[in-house]
Structure 1
Amino acid sequence: MIRHQVLAIAWRWIGRAAALLALLAGGYAAAGLVGGAIPAHAGWRPPARGIRVYIESNGIHVGLVVPKVAAGVDWRDWAPGADLADPRYGGYDHLAIGWGDKAFYLETATWADVRPRTLLAAARGSDATLMHVEHVPAPRGGDVRSLLLRPEEYRRLASYIRASIAPRRTRYRGYDANDVFYAARGHYSAVQTCNAWAGDALRQAGIRVGRWTPFPVTVMAWF
């Protein structure tokens, strides 16, 4: 009898815990969607001519794709082709750049690699962050948005990206022959996600985007 009572109490607490977790997850999702729908720089409009950059998503991470040389910004020394597994890819004329949690980046190249422990660890937060840099041609397919920036907007975007890398250039092998990871600055958490970083970069440049963009859709929907 006592054993049945203990089991009943245990299941009751498990049910309450599950309900609380579902409530927290639902609240987080709702807050993220609301934050992503409230615009910063609501009056911003793209110029008729300017620097073309791209915003791309793989369904987990949002990245910014920039030309290697434009508006007085030269990325070639910042991310040299010599850092790649195959330096020949350094001949491409664009960089795809993202920021995020070190463990999440290294362990979740695709959705199939996502594990609950990785999600929980990232949500708790970490000071171990990375910049993911790919040497690529201008994107022509996939989940990609294109936009034009004024030279001064592009320079502000570049300044934000550059400020996110760690002063000490620690390098990690990438997923493939054309990409590499670098140690980064910043604290990753459920609030400051890789996608929130991309939204922050665009917002710092003065571009219309959501005020808080924790999910890919909260960035991509603006473009």
Structure 2
Amino acid sequence: MSLARRAATLLALLLAAVLLAAWLTARPGDPALYPPAPGEAAVTVRLVADAWHSGLLLPRDALAQAAAEAGDGALLEVTGRFRAYPALEIGWGDAGFYRAVPTIEALDWRLALRALFTPGGRPAVLHVVGVAPEPGTAFAGSEIVSLRLSRAGFRRLAAALGRTFAAHDGHPVVLGPGLYGPSLFYAAEGRFSLLAVCNHWSAGLLHAAGLPVTPLLDTLPRGLVLDLAWRAGASGPHPP
């Protein structure tokens, strides 16, 4: 067998293995939560994805109401702190990398590799940004995917989000100013690693809301965007 044919065979086998792994690890959605029934009240949330990171853009009032109904004091405190803004953009990631690399131009490969491959994972943080009514101006260059969630699904998402905030005496732990705009970093639950990156976190919250997700595909922002379009029928992606 020629070298070219061997390479083609190996590539085909690798592709088949990846597709099989994606299929085996795919998580089904919950039809009782997503999509909302025709005529049912819905809450629109957005996935904001760039070259290496994704986060969720959530309506602040709906999030505050869900936190109050669930008695989630930490999440209620966060939404109260950003009460002047109609939406919150929230992301999760490695504490060292996230705080040190605000843009792709500032990428430090040593930090990236350390974040992805440290045995046992690394501490995580949450980044919360207050967003004005027109989010496009805040996310130039990012893709935005819109998703209509049922109210029950949104409450599940809010509950999962609330569990991500690390709390001390019932209060979220503020770590300092965020990267841009009116923003703050908060201490977070979970450990960041190659098997638990920011895009998995975003997908996990959407899965809590009833959407089907494919963790292997969702490792990269573009994969998550395509996953939501293919399996959840999401509108987009579209530029801000």
TM-score between the two structures when normalised by the length of structure 2? 0.69
Contact persistence 2:60–2:79 (CA under 8 A): no
The equivalent residue for 2:123 is: 128
Q: Which residue of 1 aligns with 2:100?
A: 107
1:214 aligns with 2:219: yes
Partner amino acid for 1:40? P
Conserved in 1, the CA contact under 8 Å of 2:52 and 2:221?
yes
Distance change in 2, residues 1:31/1:172 (3 Å): farther
| Conserved 8 A contact 2:115-2:122 | no
Q: Secondary structure at the match of 1:159?
A: helix
The one-letter code sitting in structure 2 at the alignment partner of 1:128 is P
Instruction: List gaps (5 residues or longer) in structure 1.
Output: 1-26, 82-88
* Displacement after TM superposition at 1:40 (Å): 2.4
* Structure with max Cα Rg: 1
State the shift of 1:206 in Å: 1.2
Task: String of CA shifts for 1:61-88, please: whole Å, max 9, x gaps.
Answer: 111111111273255522443xxxxxxx
Distance 1:177 1:147 in 2: 24
The answer to whether the 8 Å contact 1:35/1:211 transfers is: yes
CA distance in structure 2 between the aligned counterparts of 1:34 and 1:128, rounded to whole angstroms: 27
Matched residue, 2:22: 35
Structure 1 residues 196-205 or 140-149, which shifts more? 140-149
Root-mean-square deviation (Å): 2.9
The residue identity in structure 2 corresponding to 1:220 is V
How many angstroms does 1:120 deviate by? Answer: 0.9
2:190 is the alignment partner of 1:197? no
In the TM superposition, what are the counterparts of 1:4-19 in structure 2 within 5 Å? none
Contact 1:50 1:148 in 2 (8 A): yes
Partner of 1:93: 86
| Count of paired positions | 190
Structure 2 CA distance for aligned equivalents of residues 172 and 100 of structure 1: 15
> Within 5 A, what are the aligned runs for 1:36-115?
38=26, 40-41=28-29, 44-48=34-38, 49-70=41-62, 72-74=65-67, 77-81=77-81, 90-115=83-108
How far apart in 1 are the matches of 2:84 and 2:174?
Answer: 22
CA distance in 2, matches of 1:217, 1:34: 18
Q: Is 2:174–2:184's contact at 8 Å kept on the other side of the alignment?
A: no
Cα distance in 1 for residues equivalent to 2:127 and 2:154: 19
* TM-score (norm: length of structure 1): 0.74
Query: Which amino acid letter does the alignment assign opposite residue 53 of structure 1?
Result: V
